[in-house]
Amino acid sequence: MLRLNTKDLIDKSKSGNRKAQQQLFSQLSAPMMGVCVRYMKSTEDAEDVLLEGFYKMFKSLKAFTYESEPAFFGWVKRIMVNESLMKLRKNKEIQLLAINEDLDQEVDVSPLQDLEVSDLLKVIRSIPVGYRTVFNLYEIEGYSHQEISEQLGVSIGTSKSQLFKAKKLLREMLEEKNEDYGS
């Protein structure tokens, strides 16, 4: 994931060493851009989020206590996710509505796992922003509905219903795709 000298890079970045900061950015920018594009519709918006996220990361790096590379990576990723959510909220793109459906009904989206990662990303990015956001947070980042409801300022029911709809839509898209391939 990261080079062995990540801790040194962090330490040097903390003291404002620009080269170390650049190297850290170089190591993290691609995977973090991957996080941002999952949430943002356009690449330009994702770049904006990436830029803002890294700026905040370097700003608050002094307060960060290094424990391990995965912990550091997770911390930066959380910054990117939060920044993405802020951008979505700012653009008023998230309009989450509770849906009266049987939320306990299981929707099987296991075929998603058979997709190529790039195809999966395309599929995820093609669904409405509300669905996509909750799906990303729940299924990919591993947030609970409670955490999602707090992050997005919605009820747990709304979070569940958005996830349900997201899965249903993804399932339908996959079925359509399979039909296209079949025909």
Binding site for another protein (CB under 8 A): 1, 16, 18, 21-22, 25-26, 29-31, 33-35, 37-38, 43, 46-47, 50-51, 54-55, 58-59, 73, 77, 108-110, 112-113, 117-122, 139-142
What string of DSSP letters covers 74-125? HHHHHHHHHHHHHHHHHTT--------S-TTS----GGGGGS-HHHHHHHHH
Q: How far is the CB of 42 from another protein (least distance, A)?
A: 10
C-beta of 92 vs 173, nearer to another protein: 173
| Minimum distance of another protein from residue 22's CB (angstroms) | 6
In the complex with another protein, the residue whose CB is nearer, 119 or 176, is 119
Shortest Å, Cβ 118 to another protein: 4
Cβ 117 to another protein, closest distance in Å? 5
